[in-house]
Amino acid sequence: MKGLKNSRSSIATALVLCLMAGATGVACSYAAFGFQTRQVSTKLREIDRLVSERYVGTMDGEAIGDFAAYGYLTGLNDRWSNYIPANEYKSYQLRTEGQGVGIGVSVVTEQDRIRVSEVYDDSPAQQAGIAKGDLILAAEGVTVEKDGGQAVVNAVQGEEGTAVTITVRKAETNQVQELTMTRALVKQKMAWGEMLDGQIGYLRINSFRVGSAEQFNAALDQLVADGAKSLILDVRHNGGGRVKEMSAMLDPLLGEGTIMTLRTKAGMETVYSSDAAHIELPAVVLADDQSISAAEFFAAALQEYDRATVVGTHTTGKGRAQQTYELSDGSALVLSVEEYFTPKGNNLADKGIAPDVEVGLTEAQASDFYFLTPETDPQLQKAVEILS
């Protein structure tokens, strides 16, 4: 952490100040922190003093600050709060804004292969002809066979405007191709739709990051214009995102009423609501144990208003909203700062929601989730059956 390298004895003090005051830019004294934080600062001061006086090795203040911050957040025992080092924060910001620098694909990394699960529109990968199901075998001389999947994924990543050469095996032809692309800032594919048999409009929501509502509503409008008679809304394997984006997606599906209530530690509430105008089409929501946060509240709102039947498995059970605070050295905290509640006032923490119709996947189907088709996906088949 910047500012810690130059003064070994200031590590503990600077760490606590950064954690407690750096995010807001307001100077705070230890007296304002409370007993638990004084406990932390005392312990860190003792450790820092002993290390400074006795440790015979060299010290890296930045690394110590990062690990101390990781430890502090881990000590909260809150799986949703975490620390982001400065060198990772820019990428984190881009992801939350529905963007990323790279070739424009999502992949599933397994022990011995990397499969492309989605190709983003107008991306270098799409322009190079990469398609869903293709295998990435190597990048920049790093191979899956010798170096492992994660090493290849790391080699694909890099700075905007730089070239990367990857080797792929085409799913359709089994041919191996070497492709050179220029890494670019690409917009993620977060929501899209297609028409299934029987004029059933299928809408996949991959995340609720910035821009997802715009993609969702465009796809919804197109399906309605094409004559959809019912809807399947798929939030399986959806890690959540912005409440504002989720609310904007629910608005055209719900009548007038509360969508979600967020409550701070001080009791202040923020209420998201929908207006009266909405689409009155029969609907099914697909959810599973990897539907988290906004994804399960999306399903809960439709379930509680009797606007949709929920099909799948029990959701994760997240009941807290996070805020990201940038610290003075460019690192950041993601901290749980609000509890949130469904339209009926339920907090889903450690409870989640139960489906109206429970349908699971086999182990093989679960591992192949992103490559299931309407013919091989039993949860989607059940949704079609209900709507038919």
| Amino acid making up residue 25 | G
pLDDT band at 38 (very low <50, low <70, confident <90, very high): confident
- Do 71 and 173 reside in the same domain of the chain? no
Check residue 23 and give its pLDDT.
33
The verdict on residue 299 lying in a domain is: yes
Buried b (16+ CB within 10 A) or exposed e, 128-147: bebeeebbbbbbeebebeee
* Residue showing tokens 């608005």: 251
- Do 72 and 113 reside in the same domain of the chain? no
Rounded-to-integer distance, Cα 380 and Cα 370, Å: 13
The verdict on residue 89 lying in a domain is: no
What angle do the packed helices 294-304 and 243-250 form, to 10 degrees?
Answer: 30
End-to-end CA distance of the chain: 59
Domain that holds residue 217: 191-387
Q: What is the CATH number of the domain that holds 145?
A: 2.30.42.10
- Do 53 and 168 reside in the same domain of the chain? no
- Do 237 and 361 reside in the same domain of the chain? yes
The verdict on residue 83 lying in a domain is: no
Q: Which of 187, 222, 254 lies at the terminal end of a domain, its last residue?
A: 187
Check residue 352 and give its pLDDT.
95
The verdict on residue 92 lying in a domain is: no
Q: Which of 4-13, 67-76, 349-358 has the lowest mean pLDDT?
A: 4-13
- Do 309 and 160 reside in the same domain of the chain? no
- Tens of pLDDT, residue by residue over 303-356, are 999 999 999 999 999 999 999 999 999 999 999 999 999 999 999 999 999 999
Q: Which whole number is the average pLDDT over 373-378? A: 96
Give the Å distances, CA to CA, from 206 to 28, 45, 98, 303: 41, 45, 11, 19
What count of other Cβ atoms lies within 10 Å of the Cβ of residue 380? 24
pLDDT band at 35 (very low <50, low <70, confident <90, very high): low
Q: Residue 220 belongs to what H/E stretch? A: helix 212-225
The verdict on residue 1 lying in a domain is: no
- Do 177 and 282 reside in the same domain of the chain? no
- Tens of pLDDT, residue by residue over 70-121, are 999 999 999 999 999 999 998 899 888 888 899 999 999 887 899 999 999 9
Phi, psi of 326 (to 5 degrees): -80, 135
- Do 181 and 225 reside in the same domain of the chain? no
- Do 286 and 316 reside in the same domain of the chain? yes
- Do 223 and 372 reside in the same domain of the chain? yes
Q: What is the CATH number of the domain that holds 305?
A: 3.90.226.10
Check residue 25 and give its pLDDT.
32
Check residue 36 and give its pLDDT.
61
Check residue 280 and give its pLDDT.
92
Contact partners, residue 82, CB within 8 Å, separation at least 6: 73, 333, 334
- Do 213 and 177 reside in the same domain of the chain? no
- Tens of pLDDT, residue by residue over 113-162, are 999 999 999 999 999 999 999 999 999 999 999 999 999 999 999 999 99
Rounded-to-integer distance, Cα 230 and Cα 384, Å: 9
The verdict on residue 84 lying in a domain is: no
The verdict on residue 94 lying in a domain is: no
Give the Å distances, CA to CA, from 37 to 3, 44, 116, 140, 214: 21, 11, 46, 47, 42
Q: Who has greater pLDDT, 248 or 34?
A: 248
Check residue 12 and give its pLDDT.
32
Q: What angle do CA 318, 320, 325 make, to 5 degrees?
A: 130
- Do 271 and 371 reside in the same domain of the chain? yes
Single out the residue of 315, 326, 290, 309 nearest to residue 384, CA to CA.
309
Buried b (16+ CB within 10 A) or exposed e, 312-329: bbbbbbbbbbbebebbeb
pLDDT band at 223 (very low <50, low <70, confident <90, very high): very high
- Tens of pLDDT, residue by residue over 275-284, are 999 999 999 9
- Do 45 and 134 reside in the same domain of the chain? no
The verdict on residue 368 lying in a domain is: yes
Total count of domains within the chain? 3
Q: Which of 24, 45, 77 lies at the terminal end of a domain, its last residue?
A: 77
| Amino acid making up residue 286 | L
Q: Which of 187, 214, 249 lies at the terminal end of a domain, its last residue?
A: 187
